[in-house]
Structure 1
Amino acid sequence: MEPAAEAARVRRARPEESSSRPLGTGLESEFRVDLERLRFAPSFSRLAEVTQVVTSASTPGVVHNRLTHTIKVSAVARAIAVGLWSSADPDLLDDLGGLDHVVAQAAAVAHDIGHPPFGHLGERVLDRLARTRFGLADGFEGNAQTFRIITELEVLGPGDEGLNLTTAVRAAVLKYPWGRFHWPDPHPSAWPEPPRGATPYRDRVDVAAAGAAAKFSAYVPDLAEMVDVLAAFPMVPPGRQTPECAVMDLADDIAYSLHDLDDFHRSGVLQFSLVSAELREWTSRRAELAALEAAELRARTRMPGAGLERLRRRLAGKDAWIFDEDAFTEAVATVGEEFVDGVLAVPHDGSMAAERALSGFTNQWIDHFVSSVRLVPDPPVRGATVTLTTLAWHQVALLKFVHQHFVLNRPDLAMQQRGQAAAVTSLVTAYDEWLSDTADAGRAPRRLVDLVETAAEGYRRTARERPEWLDHQTDESALTRMSRGRAICDYVASLTDEQVVDQASRLRGDGGRLWPSGGF
């Protein structure tokens, strides 16, 4: 890599005193400092008490939380990056933007820091409230929240904002390198074929948001820094991830596709008969299912095989660049043989034999997926420079389907999630009313007050420098409302599951602890 390109990747957001530099020399030392800053950040520690799918109290078995998920993603990311580094053409890697295994690890450590309490459920609730209650056009998004935390909200030392990470690590968390509306131009949602995540957005209260991306990596006040970060990678086309980001993204998919199946097999939620029937019926009746009209297929929601057919159609429609009928059929067969018949067929009884069978399957398939990674110099717009072989890609999609279809759609989980959504909504509403009370706003939690000031600074700066990113809504009342809304979302998103329930309860007058540990 050319010296100028190396310097751009290593550059930090702000200069540092030499005494704060890591010991030793070389690029890895700079990136390793970033890795440790992320691991020591309170926002990383908090993930131990944030839901992955269900809380630990929901099942007698041990389940993953956001922290254990992140640790596994980091391990898989390192394995992928080391494998590519040792096997790929170094000149090609440089041409694509560079690949360092520590940067990939750091991105994996950071990737879920922006997840709010209760996982994706909390994300959806905060997004709806941000837009409908506070007029924040770009709402709330976990990936954008991650970038905001590491560049603005996390505290490294006295007077510092953000963790002052290198450009390479900041770029590696930009999973969706665009804003919801305003950057780049033309916006990816308007491209003839939008990249993954940039498809036009429609929210869950039937309000269309024309030209908005469903996923994005920076809110309006943070767009300028994202643009500056990406400028250090002129070899990476608009809308494409850096190789290290692509490694992190793929590692996340691999880890997610396997460890949630571990959790719900241990807890007895995944039933052999149901999963087996789904795969068996699709295999034996696939011609009949393929002939059904879309409306008729939707109406057969509980018919075995129908869910798998809907998955097949969705993959074929969205991902024609890699979808293959034969690979899909082979993935159904291998997952059926190795996971359904090889693991699910024997109920998990807590014995060492049951654990050996489950861990053996998981380890074998992680090795299989890591060895199936390949580098694509010029990927299609919905692809990435780091991806899986065609068969492995279909296998990951199928494993994720098993979790989504047989766990996430359960009525008992939906009931719990509705209660969690009510708690988040109640807390956001209560804090908005508190900050609107001029007689008592000064007694609001100190961190919340700080976040209001930080958000106001960001929105005023954007109003001066890029008013078009705010759709020219730059009058003081609009800026005040947006700043308050962004700060409340920042604050609630920084809590643990338990803190949301506790604070919502106290603000309703239901009691709860008066002196929570750590204060405000």
Structure 2
Amino acid sequence: MTATAPQSIQRITARQHPPVEATTVTRGQRADAGGETTERALGADEAFRDDLERIRFSPYYSRLGAVTQVISSNGAGQGVHNRLTHTIKVTSVARAIATGITRPGDPRRDLLDRLGGCDPVVVQAAASAHDLGHPPFGHLGESVLNRIARQRYGLEDGFDGNAQTFRILTTLDALHPEGGLNLTAAVRAAVLKYPWCRVRFPRPHPSEFAYPPRGAGAGDDDGGSSKFSAYFLDAAEMVDARAAYPGLPALRQTVECSVMDVADDIAYSLHDLDDFHRAGVLQYAAVATEFREWRAHAARLARQDLDTLTPDAPGRSLEALRRRIHAKDPWIADDDAFFAAADRVRTDLIDGLLAVPYDGSRAAERALGAFTGQWLARLQDAVTVTLDPHPRSGYVSLLPQAWHEVTILKFVHQRFVLQRPDLALYQRGQARILLRLVDGFDAWLADRADAARAPRRLLEFIDLATMGYDTIAGDSPDLLAGADPAARRRRAVGRGLIDYIASLSDARAAATADSITGRAERLWDAGGGL
């Protein structure tokens, strides 16, 4: 699988990682204030630990404590996860996996050594950073900002939480005089779960492949990838980070990144179930009926045209999931594993945990803790290392049985929580908050008499985007598809405004929207920080 890039961006196409001895210094390098790569006096391990602390001391990291994971604590009580508690648990799972597979005597360590090694501190740093770019109101906010960015400002690369994370680490955070946190190449590369832009880089673009890597498939009618890790503005930074791995295939995650990715899947599939059970929104009867009816009529459903069934017909959604796995991931899809995974989820989650309603008692907490702990331990042990993984997988991944189990767990909360009408009602209100913010700031920036009084950080972000687009116009104009100066300026305003709004917490977004639309009762409700 090869890919070409704009002339100003170097390709990375070699097939294997270099030995660990050849990468220690390079991976531990930082960029100095002039943009040149320099060797630090610190050893690589100390540099990686420094990176971890830079991330954890960043205001973008602290902000995650006030950003929705799936269900807002305001709407479902204080027991639910926010982006920070989710991040902490992903980091814990990632550390456990990384230390397990690098333990002396573990056969997986020999394979890792052939790939260049796996540094547990780099894994922890990547896990700590992986959600920094998520905007207010969780995935709902991501969807709304993506639509606004593309339709209103002509930003072909729209908005994506992964790309926003990389932009924060390399540009938006203010720790380093030149912007960003000045992290080592290893940590910057380890957050690149989807190492491509939404469209046009690299070329041929992975969304055009007959069998694209995971996340690279088309996301909507406008084309491009549904997931990506860098905007056009940050494509050169992405290539610079990955240049520390000259043997890494162009579209492949680093080893440390693949560990973080697996940990994110595990934590998301289990810890969000905690929230739904505590909040009482994951109802035993509905979930049990779906699994029972599918198991009882699996043969008939497998032969049936699902379009002839009503969307809520018991068993239909689980059968649709089985078929979707075969269509998207035939390399790992296995009906025996799917049936076994469905039976285990039914036994442990449905007939075990959900059969007894959560009542806030210590016994209920123990039951929830036992369920989560047992599943965590089993999934963390079901990790494998592969020298030449499938394009839709990573060097570190879950064994097929565990992969099917995680897929079904994620199906449960997608089908029985995220599709609930009451949640949709709540989210539509949150979407209106973001729209009011964009409308208000857009009108303010267009007011020549008063634009200079817009928040300083907003104006700085617009200036950063303007300089970035001007640079691309000179170095890689094909990335901008021939946009003229007026179009580039409009895109810079849009990118800077999206950068600003995405940096707000849920509460700050709501308060700022009230202020800019004249609904606030107090003068200092909005502020200008994170």
Measured against the shorter chain, the TM-score band is over 0.9
Q: Distance in 2 between matches of 1:361 and 1:514?
A: 48
Mapping of 1:340-379 within 5 angstroms? Answer: 340-379=350-389
Partner of residue 74 from structure 1, selected from 55, 71, 91: 91
Counterpart residue number, 1:489 = 498
**Displacement of 1:184:** 1.5
Query: Would you say the 8 A contact 1:201–1:214 is kept in 2?
Result: yes
CA distance in 1, matches of 2:299, 2:163: 42
- Residue 218 of structure 1: CA displacement? 0.6
Unaligned runs of 5+ in 1: 203-207
**Which residue is 1:83 aligned to?**
100
Corresponding residue of 2:117: 98
Asked if 1:516 is matched to 2:521, the reply is: no
The letter of the residue matching 2:384 is R
Contact 1:12 1:164 survives alignment (8 Å): yes
Alpha-carbon distance between aligned partners in 1 of 2:128 and 2:88, rounded to the nearest angstrom: 7
| 1:100 Cα deviation after fit | 0.4
Contact 1:178 1:184 (8 Å CA) reproduced: yes
Partner residue, 2:313: 303
Confirm or deny: 8 A CA contact 2:20 2:116 kept in the other structure.
no
8 A Cα contact 1:272 1:340, kept in partner: yes
How big is the shift at 1:390?
1.0
Distance across 2 between alignment mates of 1:279 and 1:180? 37
3-state SS of 1:374 partner: strand
Secondary structure of 1:209's aligned partner? coil
* Residues 511 and 526 in structure 2, CA contact (< 8 A), matched pair in contact too: no
Tell me the CA shift for residue 95 of structure 1.
4.0
Contact kept, 8 Å, 2:52 with 2:121, in 1: the verdict is yes
Indicate whether 1:446 and 2:456 are aligned: yes
| TM-superposition CA deviations, 1:292-346 (whole Å, max 9, x none) | 114224xx21111111111111111111111110000001111111111111111
Task: Output the CA distance in 2 between the equivalents of 1:309 and 1:125.
Answer: 30
Give, in whole Å, the separation in 1 of the partners of 2:107 and 2:525: 52
Count of residues in Structure 1 that have an aligned counterpart in Structure 2: 507
Q: Alpha-carbon deviation of 1:283?
A: 0.5
Distance 2:441 2:526 in 1: 20
Equivalent in the alignment of 2:151? 132
- Aligned ranges for residues 412-491 of structure 1 at < 5 Å? 412-473=422-483, 475-491=484-500
SS in 2 for 1:387: strand
Q: Report the counterpart of residue 189 of structure 1 in structure 2.
A: 207
Match of 2:514 among 505, 510, 514: 505
Q: Which amino acid aligns with 1:125?
A: V
Correspondence 1:228 to 2:217:
no
The unaligned stretches of length 5 or more in structure 2 are 1-18
Q: CA deviation at 1:287?
A: 0.8
| Corresponding residue number in structure 2 for 1:244 | 256
User: In 2, Cα distance between the equivalents of 1:492 and 1:55?
Assistant: 18
Specify the code of the residue in structure 2 equivalent to 1:209. D
Asked if residue 26 in structure 1 is aligned to residue 43 in structure 2, the reply is: yes
The match for 2:334 among 324, 327, 350 is 324
Larger CA deviation: 84-93 vs 382-391: 84-93
Per the TM alignment, residue 15 of structure 1 is displaced from its structure 2 partner at its CA by 6.3
Q: Residue 181 of structure 1: SS of its match in structure 2?
A: coil
Distance 2:362 2:132 in 1: 34
CA distance in 1: counterparts of 2:154 and 2:164, whole angstroms: 17
Q: What does the per-residue CA deviation read over 1:338-380, in whole Å, with 9 as the maximum and x for residues that have no partner? A: 1111111111111111111110110110000000000011111
| Structure 2 partner of 1:213 | 225
Q: Show the counterpart of 1:205.
A: none
1:292 corresponds to 2:304: yes
| Distance apart, 1:289 and its partner CA | 1.0
Residue type matched to 1:351 in 2?
Answer: S
Q: Amino acid of the residue matched to residue 198 of structure 2?
A: R
Q: Say if 1:61 and 1:263, in contact at 8 Å, map to a contact too.
A: no
- Of 405, 413, 417, the residue aligned with 1:407 is 417
The answer to whether the 8 Å contact 2:88/2:128 transfers is yes
The 8 Å contact of residues 95 and 235 in structure 1, kept in 2 or not, is answered as: no
Alpha-carbon spacing, 1:503–1:379, altered in 2? closer, same or farther (3 Å): same
Q: Quick one: distance in 2 between partners of 1:429 and 1:367?
A: 47
Alignment of 1:105-184 (within 5 A): 105-157=124-176, 159-184=177-202
Letter in 1 for 2:222: A
What is the CA–CA distance in structure 2 between the aligned matches of 1:170 and 1:96, rounded to whole Å? 18
What amino acid does structure 2 have at the position aligned with 1:320?
P
Q: Does 1:44 align with 2:56?
A: no
Contact kept in structure 2, 1:96 and 1:242, CA below 8 Å: no
> What amino acid sits opposite 1:358 in the alignment?
L
Counterpart among 219, 232, 235 of residue 201 in structure 1: 219
Instruction: Give per-residue Cα distances to partners, 1:24-49, cap 9 Å, x unaligned.
Output: 95322110000000000000000000
CA distance, structure 1, for counterparts of residue 229 and residue 528 of structure 2: 31
8 Å CA contact retained: 1:338, 1:361: yes
Task: Tell me the distance in 2 between the aligned counterparts of 1:464 and 1:84.
Answer: 45
Residues 493 and 519 (structure 1 numbering): CA distance in 2 closer, same or farther, change over 3 Å? closer
Q: Which amino acid aligns with 1:123?
A: E
Question: Could you tell me whether the CA contact under 8 Å between 1:50 and 1:65 is conserved in 2?
Answer: yes
| Aligned match for 1:65, one of 82, 85, 98 | 82
Distance in 1 (CA, whole Å) between partners of 2:372 and 2:134 is: 25
Q: CA–CA distance in 2 between the matches of 1:519 and 1:50?
A: 17
Q: 1:313 to 1:89 in 2, by over 3 A?
A: closer
Q: Could you tell me how far apart the structure 1 residues matched to 2:25 and 2:91 are?
A: 25
Whether the 8 Å CA contact 1:452–1:483 is kept in 2: the answer is: yes
The offset of 1:517, in angstroms, is 7.5
- Give yes or no for contact 1:61–1:267 (8 Å, CA) kept in 2: no
Q: Quick check: 1:96–1:236 contact (8 Å CA) kept in 2?
A: no
Question: What is the CA–CA distance in structure 1 between the aligned matches of 2:526 and 2:455, rounded to whole Å?
Answer: 14
TM-score (norm 2): 0.93
- 1:109 to 1:513, Cα distance in 2 relative to 1, 3 A: farther
| Counterpart residue type for residue 244 of structure 1 | E
Name the SS of the counterpart of 2:472 in structure 1: helix
Q: Assess if the C-alpha contact under 8 Å between 1:51 and 1:497 holds in 2.
A: yes
Partner of 1:303, secondary structure, is: coil
Please give the per-residue CA displacement for 1:203-227, whole angstroms capped at 9, x wherever unaligned: xxxxx324x1111111011101111
Tell whether the 8 Å contact from 1:96 to 1:235 is kept in structure 2 after alignment: no
